[in-house]
């Protein structure tokens, strides 16, 4: 595994981590469905423009493996739908821990069942360390009264995220990572489009709304998906899913430094543990 693989995964995860910060500036009328649509459409156009100028598109549409591309798109959309639907019931803290924290475990299970691969010993240490870090990041907002049945939604979201990471290398075979993600994001936009009949997207016509949508599309979609899945292509899925835990760490950092959100010693310890996990896994993985 080349070092560039984990590095690209980390850069992609950090791009994803700006989502909450940017979305906090969006107009109140913005909903998860309309934000998803704006993000996917602008992200698709932005990455498509790059692929066109850099000649990343294949010569024929037949080069795309649409069976796996559709599967990645369904996993991507399923994650967003399940995760955001769970938050009113579980709260952000519990939902994040269950969804993001379970992803590396789901990934290892899928890899074992489908490919017969076992994670390395260092993966277990790094994954446990990162999950403890995520718990500490959300410790002050943790609500222990959440009924176990509501945890199924974020856990299933984690399964979708894991499926997305495991299937992505197959979806990108024979084409560039960037062009494959253009197709995936375009498919997600098509799948989500009917929701616009129920949730108005007029907020995007304001200067504030448009600037947020463009930032979400270019930073947390175009750049994030391009870097993350280019890295996934050259990184074991179980390792990539653990490195992806840099996303909640980054989100916590941006909240502290950019939004001046309050923090505690537990928050800093959580960030430190995730950083240790990332460094160990990046430097010691085969």
pLDDT the model gives residue 18: 92
Which token pair is 221?
């979609």
DSSP H helical ranges for the chain: 4-16, 19-23, 32-53, 66-115, 121-137, 152-171, 177-192, 207-217, 224-233, 237-243, 246-257, 265-284
Determine phi and psi for 154, rounding to 5 degrees.
-65, -30
pLDDT the model gives residue 91: 74
Length of the chain: 286
pLDDT tens digits, residue range 76-94?
999 988 988 887 777 777 7
User: Would the pTM of this model clear 0.85, i.e. be above it?
Assistant: yes
Query: Would you list the DSSP string of 174-240?
Result: TS-HHHHHHHHHHHHHHHHGGGGGTS--GGGGSHHHHHHHHHHHIIIIIIHHHHHHHHHHTS-HHHH
**Least trusted range by pLDDT, from 7-11, 104-108, 116-120, 165-169:** 116-120
pLDDT tens digits, residue range 95-138?
788 888 899 999 999 999 988 888 888 999 999 999 999 889 88
pLDDT tens digits, residue range 22-74?
988 899 899 889 999 999 999 999 999 999 999 999 999 999 999 999 999 99
- Asked if pLDDT for residue 2 goes beyond 80, the answer is no
pLDDT the model gives residue 146: 64
pLDDT tens digits, residue range 213-246?
999 999 999 999 999 999 999 899 999 999 999 9
| Closest listed residue to residue 251, CA positions, set 228, 274, 230, 232 | 274
| Closest listed residue to residue 226, CA positions, set 255, 260, 183, 196 | 183
The mean pLDDT of 138-159, rounded to a whole number, is 78
Q: How confident is the model at residue 3 (pLDDT cuts 50, 70, 90)?
A: low
């Amino acid at each position: 595994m080349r070092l560039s693989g984990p590095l690209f995964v980390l850069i992609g995860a950090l791009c994803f981590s700006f989502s909450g910060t940017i979305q906090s500036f969006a107009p109140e009328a913005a909903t998860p469905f309309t934000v998803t649509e704006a993000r996917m459409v602008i992200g698709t156009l932005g990455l498509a423009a790059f692929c066109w100028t850099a000649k990343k598109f294949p010569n024929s549409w037949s080069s795309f493996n649409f069976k796996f591309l559709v599967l990645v798109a369904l996993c991507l959309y399923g994650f967003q739908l399940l995760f955001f639907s769970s938050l009113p019931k579980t709260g952000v803290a519990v939902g994040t821990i269950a969804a993001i924290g379970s992803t590396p475990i789901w990934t290892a299970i899928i890899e074992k069942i489908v490919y017969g691969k076992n994670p390395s010993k260092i993966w277990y240490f790094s994954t446990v360390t990162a999950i403890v870090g995520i718990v500490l990041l959300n410790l002050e907002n943790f609500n222990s009264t959440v009924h176990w049945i509501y945890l199924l939604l974020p856990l299933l979201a984690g399964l979708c995220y894991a499926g997305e990471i495991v299937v992505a290398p197959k979806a990108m075979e024979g084409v560039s990572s960037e062009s494959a993600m253009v197709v995936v994001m375009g498919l997600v936009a098509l799948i989500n489009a009917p929701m616009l009949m129920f949730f108005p997207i007029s907020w995007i016509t304001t200067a504030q709304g448009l600037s947020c949508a463009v930032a979400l599309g270019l930073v947390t979609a175009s750049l994030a998906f391009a870097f993350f899945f280019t890295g996934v292509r050259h990184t074991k899925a179980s390792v990539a899913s653990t490195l992806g835990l840099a996303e909640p760490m980054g989100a916590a950092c941006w909240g502290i430094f950019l939004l001046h959100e309050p923090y505690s010693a537990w928050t800093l310890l959580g960030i430190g543990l995730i950083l240790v996990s990332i460094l160990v896994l990046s430097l010691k993985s085969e």
